[in-house]
Structure 1
């Protein structure tokens, strides 16, 4: 190799090697700082675009989960209300059967009638109060914000929907006991004669039996809907975990590996600096030829 003060090939080679080491260190430090092996499409276009698609799916899945949680809350409130109504109707059935005894005196039958009226008012209060976020699955004609008081929820990121129908218990209760705010069918139990009052009590008991069957059907429907929503929420949670793990497998950095690589690059950098220093001193040896 010729000796020249104009061109120092050794220094240029050492400088290129040092620059490559510095670039590798910048990449490694970026991975350690961000925790990502693929932080930009410049790192790996294929993996980055796939990861972005999966991140979009995660966003959609969060929206689905939020919708299902709202539907579950509405349904669970309706279930609680229907269960309470079921208990109250059972009490009314017992009171109606007690009032059907022709041997009761007027005072006793009147007391029973008052108890039935209080239970009836409580049932309508429960129906009206079984409301969540302006949706009532028990109240007939509860139209805000969903038509007919039903609730609909997103079921998947594909746009499938899950619907829980309104149970219309206001109308059904009115058929059995008279509309809310009226007490005609209840006060009939305290009639002028024992036979008339007993007959009214039996008629009320028959209507209550029919209403109780409708309440049981509503409980079954609402319970099934709640379980379906809960199952879908569990599936979405598992799916969220799987997608998150998949994104991590694509773009996350192996920090243990990057840490070891950083140690090696730091040694290479130090050696590169020393090699460049030696290469820069080489032309000075030419001065000895002119002494």
Structure 2
């Protein structure tokens, strides 16, 4: 080996190795600090780009879930109104049946008529007030509502089911006038009750479908997040072990550089008498 005070090949090699170790150490420390093996495009451009796109898709599903949850609430309110309306119709049928009894006196008949009319008005109020965030599936103000179903902006459509009087075959004019008409009203109310239950069944089916889709969206989001994690997350146990190894290697590199820098001093012995 050349004995020179101008060039020290051993020190240069030791310095190169030490720099390489320091670079690896910085990378490992960065992974431990961020928890990611691909934190920026500089780490791995292709993987970083894919991960960013998938993360964006996952984040956009939060809006989809919010929309579907609003749909759930809107349907739940309509179902609650529907349950109330079917109960009221059942009571109206009872009143009509009681009023069809020809042995009733006028006072008793009028009391039944008053109850019947009151129940009819309550149906109107239940249908009108069944709104969530100002939107209703039961008051006849809309034919359908569309909620987000995916990150591309496609929709999950729910058909409205009008539970107001007109929607179930009744009107404001329906009342009890005499026993004969009351008997006819029994059939009218029974038909309205059947219509209401059919509409509630449709809303229930839509609610079940929406619930299942919301569950799917949640699972899809979890899968996307897991996939992104597999691509960019660091194995901290592995990185921790590597950190200790590199720290030891760094200390040895510093020692090797120190030894290499002392080599030119051996030339001084040539000048001693």
Q: TM-score range by the shorter chain?
A: over 0.9
The CA RMSD over aligned residues, in Å, is 1.5
Answer whether contact 1:138 1:167 (CA < 8 A) is retained.
yes
Match of 1:285 among 259, 266, 273: 266
Aligned counterparts of 2:187 and 2:91: Cα–Cα separation in 1: 14
> 5+ residue gaps in structure 1?
143-147, 190-196
| Contact 1:139/1:149 (8 A) holds in 2 | no
Give 1:174 deviation, angstroms. 7.9
Moved more, 121-130 or 18-27: 121-130
State the Cα deviation string for residues 1-47 of structure 1 (Å, max 9, x = none). Answer: 12100011111111111111111011001100110011112111221
d(CA) in 1 for partners of 2:14, 2:164: 88
Decide whether the 8 Å contact of 1:135 with 1:149 is kept in 2: no
CA 1:77–1:233: 2 relative to 1, 3 Å: same
1:8 aligned to 2:2? no
Q: 1:170 aligns with which of 151, 164, 167?
A: 164
TM-score, normalising length from structure 2?
0.95
Greater displacement, 238-247 / 149-158: 149-158
CA drift of 1:111 comes to 1.2
- What aligned pairs does 1:84-95 form with structure 2 within 5 A after superposition? 84-95=84-95
Confirm or deny: 8 A CA contact 1:36 1:251 kept in the other structure: yes
1:106 shift after superposition:
1.1
Question: Is residue 219 from structure 1 mapped to residue 213 from structure 2 by the alignment?
Answer: no
Q: Does 1:207 align with 2:226?
A: no
- Which residue of the partner structure matches residue 103 of structure 1? 103
Give the secondary structure class of the aligned counterpart of 2:164.
helix
Aligned-partner Cα distance in 2 for 1:235–1:175: 38
Whole-Å separation in 2 of the counterparts to 1:105 and 1:37: 88
Q: Within 5 A, what are the aligned runs for 1:1-291?
A: 1-140=1-140, 142=141, 148=142, 150-172=144-166, 175-176=169-170, 178-179=171-172, 184-186=173-175, 188-189=176-177, 197-291=178-272
Distance 1:151 1:216 in 2: 20
Unaligned runs of 5+ in 2: none
- Cα deviation, residue 204, structure 1: 2.0
Q: Which position in structure 2 is the counterpart of 1:192?
A: none
What do residues 247-291 of structure 1 show as CA deviations (whole Å, max 9, x unaligned)? 111110000000000000000010011111111111111111111
Change (3 A) 1:235 1:174: closer
Distance 1:233 1:87 in 2: 30
Q: CA deviation at 1:173?
A: 5.7
The CA deviation at 1:149 is 5.5
Shift of 1:175: 4.5
Query: How many residue pairs get matched?
Result: 272
Q: Which stretches of structure 1, 4 residues or longer, exceed 3 Å deviation after superposition?
A: none
Q: Secondary structure at the match of 1:169?
A: coil
Query: TM-score scaled to structure 1, two decimals?
Result: 0.89
Distance across 1 between alignment mates of 2:133 and 2:66:
14
The match for 1:194 is none
